[in-house]
């Protein structure tokens, strides 16, 4: 009976799950019906072991080996092991050696992952830095958020939340600031200009964090920074671009994607579409038909053909690489900086009935020219090096991660400029390249 129960548990964990629309759409109703039909046929089988084995499609000898190890741990490990904890460890192990981006997410981690892609959360609107003594330093309050309206300032130190002191060694102290919109939280704040700490009472709200910032570098030359790709990134990009062109059309644009880790693929596709009149943007290919897709530009270039320079570094990954590749392959932009990270894979989020999720790699990205980004990245048209006297700083790329998906045919080409390029110097270099492109028109 124990063997049969474990067979069924394994089958349940390995059965197909509906995918949420993170980067690949979920299964169709027709496919769901087919799977339901298959499940009914399996339930009609006399032997429950055969049902589980058919569902999981795992060789019998592998199942026996798993049960043997499971029983050995349960019976002989130095301390008692909880069944639930052991099964969760088994599931995590199932995903561990696939690739660096497939993972089992507990409910809290899955909610945080979803929050990052949505760009919204319920809280008081403060960007924080945790200090060694457990207290929190305010880096910046979110514009027009509860904290900003209450007068919380950059540099303020939060030493207690709802009367509970923040101490050394505590877990992430910012978590108590999150909570249901409409609820109240009281912060005890230490401010350098005031001798005594004081309390600030804040009512939590739904905070929309913007991933897009912009400014004019010079008259006629715009700068847009995209920190990540969230649900509202394309909308924010359009607003920022229109604001830059309110008085006059831009002559050129620097699009800064440095240290952009990616995010929602659709955000990068929509931004590319705003800058392209026609042409492909990206395609994805996987083993299943659901992993295959193609995105093309629709007519309408918001810059009317004005030159674009895309600034990248070794931290530009995934959707950021998709955007850079789409603009470069369509000869719409010059790419400046250092070789990008090389994360050319698509992850699909598979929700489980207990609120946990499985993040599973299901496809690869391809630029319009058919170039696979995976473990190769994008080589800039113009490579930037550290300034004279500055040492080269090694960084980790996708190709350095243990168990990464292999690159497809083709070797690394060009200068492996593995330097993170912070600060204003690369922006100045990108502006010079942009002006050369304007002069060449």
More confident residue, 60 or 20: 60
Does 212-440 match 120-208 at the fold level?
A: no
The pLDDT score that the predictor gives to residue 319 is 96
pLDDT bucket at 391, cuts 50 / 70 / 90:
low
pLDDT value at residue 112 = 77
Q: What single-letter DSSP state applies at residue 291?
A: G
Q: Over the stretch 340-350, which tens digit does the pLDDT of each residue have?
A: 999 999 998 89
Per-residue pLDDT at 420: 56
Taking only the tens place, the pLDDT of each residue in 312-353 is 998 899 999 999 999 999 999 999 999 999 999 999 889 999
| Contact of 240 with 182, CB cutoff 8 Å | no
Which pLDDT band, with edges at 50, 70 and 90, does 56 fall under?
Answer: low
Packing angle, helices 265-275 and 319-329, rounded to 10: 20
Q: Which CATH class is domain 212-440?
A: alpha beta
Confidence of residue 29 (pLDDT cuts 50, 70, 90): very low
195 pLDDT above the threshold of 80: yes
Q: Is 27 or 341 the better-scoring residue by pLDDT?
A: 341
Is the model's pLDDT at 299 over the cut of 80? yes
Task: Report whether pLDDT(404) > 50.
Answer: yes
Neighbours of 88 (CB within 10 A): 14
Residue bearing the bigger pLDDT, 115 or 51:
115
Confidence bin at 173 (pLDDT 50/70/90): low
Tell me the pairing of strands 252-256 and 221-226.
parallel
Instruction: Flag whether pLDDT at 279 surpasses 90.
Output: yes
CA distance 124 to 54: 51
- Per mean pLDDT, which range of 33-37, 76-80, 90-94, 288-292 is the poorest? 33-37
The mean pLDDT of the chain is: 82
Q: At residue 60, does pLDDT exceed 80?
A: yes
Instruction: Indicate the domain borders of the chain.
Output: 2-96, 120-208, 212-440
Residues 297, 301, 304, CA angle at the centre, nearest 5°? Answer: 150
CB 320 within 8 A of CB 261: yes
Query: Model pTM?
Result: 0.75
Please compute the mean of the pLDDT values over residues 191-196 and round it to a whole number.
88
Give the model's pLDDT for residue 193. 79
Q: Model confidence over 89-148: pLDDT tens digits?
A: 888 888 988 999 999 998 888 887 787 778 788 899 887 888 878 889 887 787 788 999
Query: Which tops the pLDDT comparison, 109 or 283?
Result: 283
Q: Which residue has the higher pLDDT, 35 or 252?
A: 252
DSSP letter, residue 229: B
Angle at 205 between CA 204 and CA 211, to 5 degrees: 120
CATH 2.30.42.10 fits 120-208, yes or no: yes
> Average pLDDT, stretch 29-35?
32
Residues annotated as catalytic are 318, 329, 343
C-beta separation of 12 from 54 below 8 A = no
Band (155; pLDDT cuts 50, 70, 90): confident
């Amino acid at each position: 009976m124990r063997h049969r129960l474990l067979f069924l548990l394994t089958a349940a964990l390995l059965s197909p799950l509906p995918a949420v629309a993170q980067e690949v759409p979920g299964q169709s109703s027709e496919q769901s019906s087919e799977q339901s039909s298959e499940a009914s046929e399996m339930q009609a089988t006399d032997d429950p072991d055969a049902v589980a084995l058919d569902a999981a499609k795992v060789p019998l000898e592998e199942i026996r080996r798993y049960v043997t190890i499971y029983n050995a741990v349960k019976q002989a490990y130095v301390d008692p092991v909880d069944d639930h904890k052991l099964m969760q460890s088994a599931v995590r192990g199932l995903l561990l050696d696939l690739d660096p981006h497939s993972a089992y997410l507990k409910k809290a981690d899955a909610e945080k992952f979803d929050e990052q892609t949505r760009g919204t959360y319920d809280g008081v609107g403060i960007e924080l830095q945790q200090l060694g003594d457990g207290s929190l330093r305010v880096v910046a309050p979110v514009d027009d958020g509860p904290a900003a309206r209450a007068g919380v300032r950059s540099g303020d130190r939060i030493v207690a939340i709802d009367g509970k002191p923040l101490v050394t060694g505590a877990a992430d102290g910012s978590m108590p600031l999150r909570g249901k919109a409409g609820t109240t939280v009281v912060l005890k704040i230490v401010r350098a200009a005031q001798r005594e700490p004081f309390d600030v009472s804040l009512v939590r709200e739904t905070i929309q964090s913007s991933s897009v910032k912009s400014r004019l570098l010079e008259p006629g030359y715009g700068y847009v920074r995209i920190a990540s790709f969230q649900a509202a990134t394309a909308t924010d990009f359009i607003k920022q671009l229109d604001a830059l062109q309110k008085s006059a059309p831009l002559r050129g644009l620097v699009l800064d994607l440095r240290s952009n880790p990616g995010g929602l693929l659709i955000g990068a596709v929509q931004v590319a579409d705003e800058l392209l009149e026609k042409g492909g943007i990206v395609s994805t290919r996987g083993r299943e038909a659901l992993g295959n897709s193609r995105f093309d530009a629709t007519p309408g270039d918001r810059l009317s053909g004005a030159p674009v320079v895309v600034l990248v570094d070794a931290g530009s990954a995934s959707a950021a690489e998709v955007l850079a590749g789409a603009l470069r392959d369509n000869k719409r932009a010059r790419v400046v900086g250092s070789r990008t990270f090389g994360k050319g894979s698509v992850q699909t989020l598979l929700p489980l009935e207990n609120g946990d999720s499985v993040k599973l790699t299901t496809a690869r990205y391809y630029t319009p020219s058919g170039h696979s980004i995976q473990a190769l990245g994008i080589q800039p048209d113009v490579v930037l090096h550290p300034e004279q006297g500055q040492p080269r700083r090694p960084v980790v790329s996708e190709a350095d991660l243990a168990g990464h998906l292999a690159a497809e045919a083709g070797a690394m080409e060009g200068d492996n400029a593995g330097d993170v390029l912070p600060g204003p110097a690369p922006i100045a270099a990108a502006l010079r390249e942009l002006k050369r492109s304007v002069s060449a028109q």
